[in-house]
């Protein structure tokens, strides 16, 4: 997508979007208002438009200006999060109309973070996974985006583009069917990101087993498509200011194993590799962002399937760190992959490890679909992640992580068991 900065004019084709703040005097650009002779003000009044973040009113331009469509979109308070919502609404409308060019006139000057958010939000709203639609049913994506704010930073807009595209990488991987994205192909996609500053090491099922990764081996042994372990490393161009690890769950399809899921519960289990997809998305962006720290991206990819070789209830799996885990539910498999990955990551010279996973429906029961459960034993890190989530338009909610919960997973045959009961399930 091409990015441009310009002054406000009526000469831009495609969608012309006008941002308006909530609670502020409604001031349309004078040249636009004059072109419609008061009709736009009446339209906004008729629609009771208040400028709430992400709420929009649209109309055809009818030849009065170069644009084919006008979008009036609420910027709320004008915060970074509200601007992201506003741009997302514009991107969504443009994709619905199949319009390739969008111009956006924000209310007020744009800080660097606001400029980033606008482009990121636009790409997020414009996203569609339509590769299996008929060609005639596909709507064009935005190819050119013009910010009508002369003092905006083009570098900030470019950062927003990188972030938005990284999110689209993760979304494409999550949306793809399990026939396309399975352990070997997910690892191959990650390997395809290798560059001068990103290295990728892929282990096959033999190396995984010989290394002592019993969780990955156990979960993946029931599938004809064998598991993979992937370690990606981004190294900055200059001296590294620190080192962190991101760890992702990569169950490319989860049938539940012998503890099989019902049809409704299995329907979207191609998405159970969302944590690994997020890690890959992050790693795809780091070189362009020129991040000054070393980042390890780690994930295990496996299919949890049913066969004569599936792991069974009552099996004892030995994790990379030597701990033994008694299997009481084969549908509690993601934690077994993560146990090996986290054990591996803990041996690296990193200051922090963050793992991302579609780990358990119990988290959704607790918090619904708009918040992600966060567990942390580091208050400063938890606070930083919460702040970053809020700035990114995400909802994090910190959950209790107390030693007393360890009693719930104390094993009878192994040292641990892989489920602790219904209460405090997440």
Q: Which two tokens stand for residue 102?
A: 């969008």
10 Å Cβ neighbour count for 361?
Answer: 12
Annotated active-site residue in 52, 64, 197, 261? 261
Q: Does the annotation mark 335 as catalytic?
A: yes
Distance CA(364)–CA(425), nearest Å, equals 11
Q: Which residue has the tokens 């890190």?
A: 381
Residues whose CB is less than 8 angstroms from the CB of residue 103 and which lie 6 or more positions away in sequence, other chains included: 6, 12, 14, 15, 16, 17, 67, 145, 146, 147, 148
SS3 35: helix
Q: Which residue has the tokens 């009526």?
A: 10
Residues linked to residue 353 through DSSP beta bridges, in sequence order: 245
Distance CA(280)–CA(190), nearest Å, equals 6
Q: Residues 70, 78: contact at Cβ < 8 Å?
A: no
Q: Residues 71, 93: contact at Cβ < 8 Å?
A: yes
- Catalytic residue positions, numbered: 261, 335
């Amino acid at each position: 997508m091409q990015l441009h900065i310009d002054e406000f004019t009526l000469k831009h084709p495609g969608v012309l979007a006008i941002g308006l703040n909530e609670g502020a005097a409604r001031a349309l650009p004078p040249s636009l208002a004059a072109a419609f002779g008061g009709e736009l003000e009446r339209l906004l009044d008729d629609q009771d438009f208040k400028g709430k973040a992400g709420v929009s009113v649209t109309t055809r331009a009818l030849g009065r200006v170069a644009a084919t469509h006008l979008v009036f979109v609420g910027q709320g308070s004008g915060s970074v999060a509200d601007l992201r919502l506003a741009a997302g609404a514009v991107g969504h409308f443009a994709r619905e109309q199949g319009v390739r060019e969008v111009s956006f006139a924000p209310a007020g000057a744009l800080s660097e973070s606001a400029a980033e958010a606008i482009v990121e939000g636009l790409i997020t709203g414009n996203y569609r996974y339509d590769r299996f639609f008929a060609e005639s049913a596909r709507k064009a994506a935005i190819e050119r985006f013009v910010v009508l704010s002369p003092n905006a930073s083009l570098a900030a807009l470019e950062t927003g583009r990188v972030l938005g595209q990284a999110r689209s990488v993760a979304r494409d991987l999550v949306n793809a069917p399990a026939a396309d994205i399975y352990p070997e192909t997910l690892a191959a996609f990650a390997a395809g990101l290798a560059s001068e500053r990103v290295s990728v090491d892929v282990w096959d099922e033999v190396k995984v087993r010989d290394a002592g990764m019993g969780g990955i081996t156990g979960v993946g042994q029931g599938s004809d498509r064998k598991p993979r372990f992937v370690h990606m490393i981004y190294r900055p161009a200059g001296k590294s200011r620190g080192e962190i690890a991101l760890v992702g769950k990569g169950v490319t399809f989860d049938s539940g194993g012998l503890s099989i899921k019902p049809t409704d519960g299995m329907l979207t289990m191609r998405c159970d590799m969302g944590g690994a997809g997020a890690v890959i998305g992050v790693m795809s962006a780091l070189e362009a962002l020129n991040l000054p720290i070393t980042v390890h991206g780690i994930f295990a990819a496996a299919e949890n399937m049913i066969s004569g070789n599936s792991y069974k209830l009552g099996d004892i799996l030995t994790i990379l760190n030597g701990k033994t885990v008694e299997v009481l539910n084969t549908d509690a498999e993601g934690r077994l992959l993560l146990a090996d990955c986290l054990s591996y990551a803990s041996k690296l010279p990193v200051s922090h490890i963050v793992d991302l996973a579609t780990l358990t429906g119990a988290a959704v029961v607790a918090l619904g679909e708009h918040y992600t459960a966060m567990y942390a034993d580091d208050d400063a890190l938890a606070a930083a992640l919460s702040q970053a989530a809020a700035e990114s338009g995400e909802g994090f909610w910190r959950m209790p992580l107390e030693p007393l919960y360890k009693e719930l997973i104390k094993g009878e045959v192994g040292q641990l068991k892989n489920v602790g009961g219904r209460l405090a399930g997440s």
